[in-house]
């Protein structure tokens, strides 16, 4: 976490937690084409402008979740969902999600695809609250775990990943 008071986890985690985020993180339009690994200049990596440049023009769920973590001083490289699930350098698997852990949802295993392929990524805010960006809503939203379970493509909670790198260190560790 940073020492900047504007970068603290909202004390009351609920749908209103969105109001505590800067405008750039509250009003991002969903864009499936703007995913980690999408080429520049259409999709910059976040660079020194942090969430501002990373989210200019929209984002998919991963790019959005990583920008939220970056706002709070946590660094996750631009991994696609299967890479994130397999990663053990910048993230660690978490048995129980804590605030600011990444959470992954999918519709279940798919033959011929690695675990996590195509998984939806959100940010765990607190008990039964996940901040995420999806096509269905089109803008950032806070859902409960039951909200995800009610949708076939998100019905399975794959698991949680905890970022281990911080902005400024330049490395996970």
Residue 101 near residue 94, CB atoms below 8 Å: yes
Short-list 150, 136, 124, 142, CA closest to 69: 124
Say whether pLDDT at 66 is over 70. Answer: yes
Strands 74-75 and 91-94: unpaired
Please work out, in degrees rounded to the nearest 5, the angle formed at the alpha carbon of residue 82 by the alpha carbons of 155 and 52: 95
Specify if 51 maps to a domain.
yes
Question: Number of folded domains in the chain?
Answer: 1
Query: Is residue 161 classed as helix, strand or coil in its secondary structure?
Result: strand
pLDDT in tens, 139-165: 999 999 999 999 999 999 999 999 998
Query: What is the pLDDT confidence band of residue 172, given thresholds at 50, 70 and 90?
Result: very low
pLDDT in tens, 67-103: 999 999 999 999 999 999 999 999 999 999 999 999 9
- Residue with more model confidence, 15 or 133: 133
Do you know the residue count of the chain? 173
Specify if 137 maps to a domain.
yes
Q: Mean pLDDT over residues 122-145, rounded?
A: 94
Specify if 173 maps to a domain.
no
- The whole model's pTM is what? 0.81
Specify if 6 maps to a domain.
no
Short-list 26, 30, 25, 18, CA closest to 134: 30
**Residue 75 dihedral angles phi and psi, to the nearest 5°:** -120, 125
Cβ neighbours of residue 148 closer than 8 Å, sequence gap 6 or more: 105, 120, 130, 154, 155, 157
Specify if 67 maps to a domain.
yes
Query: Which range of residues forms the domain containing residue 29?
Result: 13-166
Q: Mean pLDDT over residues 128-135, rounded?
A: 94
Query: Distance (Å, rounded) from C-alpha 173 to C-alpha 158?
Result: 24
Query: What is the pLDDT confidence band of residue 20, given thresholds at 50, 70 and 90?
Result: confident
Q: How many helices (H) and strands (E) does the chain have?
A: 5, 8
Specify if 47 maps to a domain.
yes
Specify if 101 maps to a domain.
yes
pLDDT score recorded for residue 34 = 66
Query: What is the pLDDT confidence band of residue 33, given thresholds at 50, 70 and 90?
Result: confident
**CATH code: domain of residue 116:** 3.90.1720.10
Specify if 81 maps to a domain.
yes
């Amino acid at each position: 976490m940073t020492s900047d008071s504007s970068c603290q986890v909202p004390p009351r985690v609920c749908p209103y937690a969105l109001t505590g985020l800067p405008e750039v993180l509250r009003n991002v339009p969903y864009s499936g084409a703007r995913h980690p690994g999408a080429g520049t200049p259409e999709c910059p990596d976040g660079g020194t402008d942090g969430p501002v440049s990373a989210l200019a023009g929209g984002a998919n769920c991963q790019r959005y979740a990583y920008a939220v973590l970056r706002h709070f001083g946590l660094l996750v490289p631009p991994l696609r969902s299967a890479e994130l699930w397999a990663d053990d350098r910048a993230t660690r698997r978490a048995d129980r999600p804590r605030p600011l852990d990444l959470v992954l949802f999918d519709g279940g295993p798919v033959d011929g695809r690695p675990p996590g392929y195509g998984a939806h990524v959100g940010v765990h805010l607190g008990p039964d609250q996940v901040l995420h960006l999806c096509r269905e809503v089109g803008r950032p939203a806070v859902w409960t775990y039951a909200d995800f379970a009610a949708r076939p493509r998100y019905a399975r909670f794959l698991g949680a990943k905890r970022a281990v790198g911080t902005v400024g260190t330049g490395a996970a560790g």
